[in-house]
Structure 1
Amino acid sequence: MNTPVPSAATTDSATLSLREALALLDDRIAGRVLISGDPGWDEARSAWNLAVDQNPAAIVVAATADDVAHTVRAAAEFGLAVAPQATGHNAGPLAANDGLAGVILLRTHEMRGVEIDAESRIARVEAGAQWGDVVAAVAPLGLTALAGTAHDVGVVGYTLGGGVSWLARSHGLAANHVVAIEVVTADGGARRVDAEHEAELFWALRGGGGDLGVVTALEFGLFEVPALSAGMLLWPIERTAEVFTAWSEWIDGIPTSVTSTARVLRLPPMPELPPFLSGRSLVVVEVAMQEDPARVDELIAPLRALAPEVDTVHPQSSAELLQLHMDPPQPVPGLGDGMLLAELTPAAIRAFVDAVGPDASSVLLSAEIRHLGGMMDPGVARAAASVHGTPQPGVTAGFDAGFLLFGVGIALPDNGEALAASLARLLSAVEPWAAGSDYLNFAEHARPAERFFGDDLERLRAVKRAVDPIGVIRSNHPIG
């Protein structure tokens, strides 16, 4: 269990000592140290979700892996903890209940290096790299990464939590394709771990989140995808029940080359949106299909038979996938949360539609259900690794669940109660079909660690005790 560290100084003399220690650290690193009141403080402490208020004892903006090591050592010496953060996605659980008191927020967003070995199809990315950086580097080489759904998602945080991409049903979680990790542990030492070097830590980091050390670089596999079509099919929100029912029947038996999401959108009138989206309430199916165009037409015919108002499915490069989900292009204030569903029965669809469909009073911007299965089944992922002679997956190999739900809305000054109520109604409505676990990256509020790691939790905690016995490293979802 994480040992509490003292909060930032409570007396004038202690404040002076903290300032002196931070000034010494600032002199040692290529990056910079900030304390409250410094120019750039508010920008540096901002999470991607602007509704999250982060108030650490200090902030270090790291420029190099050496900066990370210096920061971790200085924090341990001064009785502080360190919370690594690149983009600040999913920062809510870390900041809640004054969770950053006595903590140095270690921002790695300026460490954006990306190196590609096209021959071995391996990418090496630094701690602050975003998926837009990686895709821009690999697409000209005809290679594809198991990227998130938006260009500004941080590669490291996404991957340490598992990583569900548009190719996940055929390729599994992004974490399963990590081949090496460079990490600074609580003693300030830099390690490079893989399947043969510190294998237990390598296992724990792949899907265990950010509680075990500060990852300064990842190496992971890239893929060739010879054929890809993707896009969305769109109908008025009044057809939500019909579309979700048809989609749930369509995915039954669909090949793993197809990953899809069904969602309800209530979009505000925004000039940057095209007219067919701006200010409208819609039901949408998004698809990514690794098939040639003729096979795509054959597979998608049952959905097209519903006469969508808009159909953008077309052959494309994998780089276009970053635009498919229409995630906001910049940080916004929001409230959201996710849930794994064991199954999607007709009753579950009715409950979902009642909560967010045309007759609901929901103010959620988006309520979506992603189809899982295929290589995201943990047993299938482990068996595939054995057959292909690749490293066995880490602590999160996949999900014992068929679907992943997420609801989110934009937090405005006048909609806080309505937004919270809408999210609560959605989660409560589908609770009877919840799986027995949760997905780290989609859990925007604190959960017991057992919900993420199940029977592997004690093994994971043993790794935490071995590399961080006094709890120097803090994450949004601590192992405990």
Structure 2
Amino acid sequence: MTEGNTMTTAVESFDTLRRRLTGALALPGDPRYTELTAGFNVAITAKPAAVVEARDAQDVAEAVRFAAATGRAAGVQATGHGLAGTFDEAILVHTGKLDECVVHPDGWARVGAGVRWQQVIDAAAEHGLAPLCGAAPGVGVVGYTTGGGLGPVARTFGWASDRVRAVEIVTGDGVPRRVTATDEPDLFWGVRGGKGALGIVTALEFDLIQQPSLYAGALYFAGADSATVLHRWREWSSTLPPAATTSLAFLQLPPMPGVPEPLAGRFTVAVRFAWTESPEAGSSVLAPIRAAADPIIDAVQTIPYAAIGMIHADPTDPMPVIEETDLLTSFPAPAADALLAVAGPAARSPQVIVELRQLGGALAAPPEHPSALCHRDAAFSLNIIGVPVPPVAALITPHAAAIRAALSPWSTGGALPNMAAGTGADRIARSYDPATLERLMALAERYDPANVLRVGQVPVRQS
């Protein structure tokens, strides 16, 4: 068959798929193709053979079946925040139009795969309720939750995935399924923590919390106070009750819209804090950090839960990033000194953010229903984020490796699925213990016998 005939056959095949869809099909060169393949991390360019802009679960099923019938892989994207691979020649299922968002006043919500957290936050606030969202409310609900979900109040309320009641999913065999703890419990176990290993989620149902407000925000300190603040935070965080969730970040934020002038173009230290009980008690608990040094900015105050995004103040516009991550068993004084030496203000770090999040509290508690989420016993997460632009682009990756090496005596070797999302057997293996990984792969072989879901952040058995 000639190359021209092959291309004609491919186009005719895609036309067959197009006729089966309620939604749209975009091919390379179509105006919608570029929009639908764009991710939040613009350092990664997705290059699928086609994009199905799904309107319902049946569209998702048609796309998965078509991929299997034509020997292609199928991947998924909604908001683009979790883009970890390029989906070369795959069928990309875009779920952004699955925008159902219903909050039930008795304490639970149902959302489609295209819904972002801020939509749920705003709808729940009308009833004095709140979801266990992430630090960036613009992130999609499904990708965040299926990867565990580590948010600003996580030490109080635990993982978002542990709040899931039901999952609607199209598995790799092209079958739409409704999954709960009693209906298809194997899938219920695997979807919560297993990311996209077993299928494409079309809707989630999950419990909400009663938390209309928080005493929360961030304290920002000058780089000159880094050592004092880091060591104080290390000692202070070890005494915190579960009502407190905290993180610390070394920041080198560029001068750009949205960055406060006192932080722009400078090395600073942010201590993030969220307290779920009374503001008076929260102020007392935070007092040792406020007294560590004079803050450049003190933005800790009583806020509505709907303003939870101001705690981390993550960027909202797409940008190129390179990320690395680790989990730590502890963070003693020698670890703090090691971090200062390699990433402190005198280290000439090329990273925009070097962050430590304290874990523990409710995150370490066993869930009501076991899941594929691992590493519940880790004490801290380490997250390193660089922006690959001149003149530091070539320095980011080796410097991140140096940070990880400096903290390796306290590293567990593991990683959370949502942090520094990536593909490849080594990265996937870091997300799970061996028994969990083996069980996920066995389930994938059962529900995806043609290995359609082999692209993106999924475990694939090595031949």
TM range (shorter): over 0.9
Question: Which one of the candidate residues 242, 245, 248 is aligned to 2:234?
Answer: 248
Query: Aligned residue for 2:289?
Result: 303
Name the SS for the 1:176 alignment partner: helix
Structure 1 residues 475 and 87: CA distance shift in structure 2, 3 A:
farther
Report what 1:418 is aligned to: 395
Partner AA of 2:240 in structure 1: I
Say if 2:22 is the partner of 1:23.
Answer: no
More moved, 393-402 vs 244-253: 393-402
1:56, 1:268 → 2: CA distance? 33
> What whole-Å deviation, never above 9, does each CA across 1:406-425 have from its counterpart, x for those lacking one?
11122225432022233222
> Residue 457 of structure 2 aligns with which residue?
477
Matched-pair contact (CA < 8 Å) for 2:172–2:447: yes
Q: Flag the 1:412–1:449 CA change in 2: closer, same or farther, 3 A.
A: closer
TM-superposition CA deviations, 1:264-297 (whole Å, max 9, x none): 1001112432222222220110000012121112
* Aligned with residue 443 of structure 2, among 456, 459, 463: 463
1:400 aligns with 2:363: no
Q: Deviations over 1:65-101 (max 9, x none)?
A: 2211111111111111100111222323x22xxxx23
2:268 aligned partner, one-letter code: L
* Cα distance in 2, alignment partners of residues 29 and 445 from structure 1: 30
- Alignment pair present for 1:73 and 2:62: no
Q: Which residue of 2 aligns with 1:208?
A: 194
Superposition pairs of residues 78-477 of structure 1, within 5 angstroms = 78-92=70-84, 94-95=85-86, 100-119=87-106, 121-225=107-211, 228-306=214-292, 307-377=294-364, 380-382=365-367, 385=368, 392-396=369-373, 399-446=376-423, 447-454=426-433, 455-477=435-457
Q: Which sections of structure 1, spanning at least 5 residues, go unmatched?
A: 1-8, 386-391
Residue 239 of structure 2 aligns with an amino acid whose one-letter code is G
User: Shift in Å at residue 10 of structure 1?
Assistant: 9.0
| Pair 1:19–1:413, CA change in 2 (3 A) | farther
TM-score calculated relative to the size of structure 1: 0.91
Which region of structure 1 is more displaced relative to structure 2, 241-250 or 318-327? 318-327
Please tell me the residue identity of whatever aligns with 1:459.
R
After superposition, the Cα gap between the structure-2 partners of 1:57 and 1:227, relative to the gap in structure 1 and judged at 3 Å, is: closer
SS at match of 1:479: coil
CA 1:76/1:271 → structure 2, altered by over 3 Å: closer, same or farther? closer
* 1:319 maps to amino acid: A
Change (3 A) 1:374 1:398: farther
CA contact (8 A) 1:381 1:398 kept: no
Instruction: Quote how far apart the aligned CAs of 1:227 are.
Output: 5.3
> Residue 461 of structure 1 aligns to which amino acid in structure 2?
M
Match of 1:59 in 2: 51
Q: Is the 8 A contact 1:172 1:381 kept in 2?
A: no
Distance 1:448 1:270, change over 3 A: closer
Matched, 1:34 2:26: yes
Query: By how many angstroms is 1:176 displaced?
Result: 0.6
Give me the whole-angstrom Cα distance separating, in 2, the residues matched to 1:65 and 1:73: 12
Residue 443 of structure 1 deviates from its aligned partner by 3.2
AA of the residue aligned to 1:465: E
Note the C-alpha offset of 1:448: 4.5
1:6 corresponds to which residue? none
Q: Quick one: structure 1 residues 466 and 420, their matched pair in 2 at CA, closer, same or farther if it must change by over 3 Å?
A: same
CA distance 1:477–1:10, change in 2 (3 Å): farther
SS of residue matched to 1:441: coil
Amino acid at match of 1:426: I
- Shift of the 210–10 alpha-carbon distance from structure 1 to 2, 3 Å rule, reads farther
Cα separation, 1, equivalents of 2:428 and 2:389? 31
Range with greater deviation from structure 2 (410-419 or 345-354): 410-419
Distance, in Å, in 2 between the alignment partners of 1:477 and 1:188 is: 19
Q: Distance in 2 between matches of 1:343 and 1:475?
A: 34
Does the residue aligned with 1:343 lie in a helix, a strand or coil? coil
Say what the alpha-carbon RMSD is for the aligned residues.
1.7
CA distance in 1, matches of 2:235, 2:391: 39
| Change beyond 3 A, Cα 1:321–1:254 | same
1:162 shift after superposition: 0.5
**Contact 2:354–2:384 at 8 Å: present in 1 too?**
yes
- The aligned residue for residue 5 of structure 1 is none
Cα offset, 1:226, TM superposition: 5.9
Contact between 2:212 and 2:305, CA under 8 Å: does it hold in 1? no
CA deviation vs aligned residue, 1:14-63 (integer Å, no higher than 9, x gap): 22222111112112212211121122322221111001021111111112
Q: Is the 8 A contact 1:211 1:475 kept in 2?
A: no
Moved more, 280-289 or 315-324: 315-324
> Structure 1 counterpart of 2:61, which letter?
A
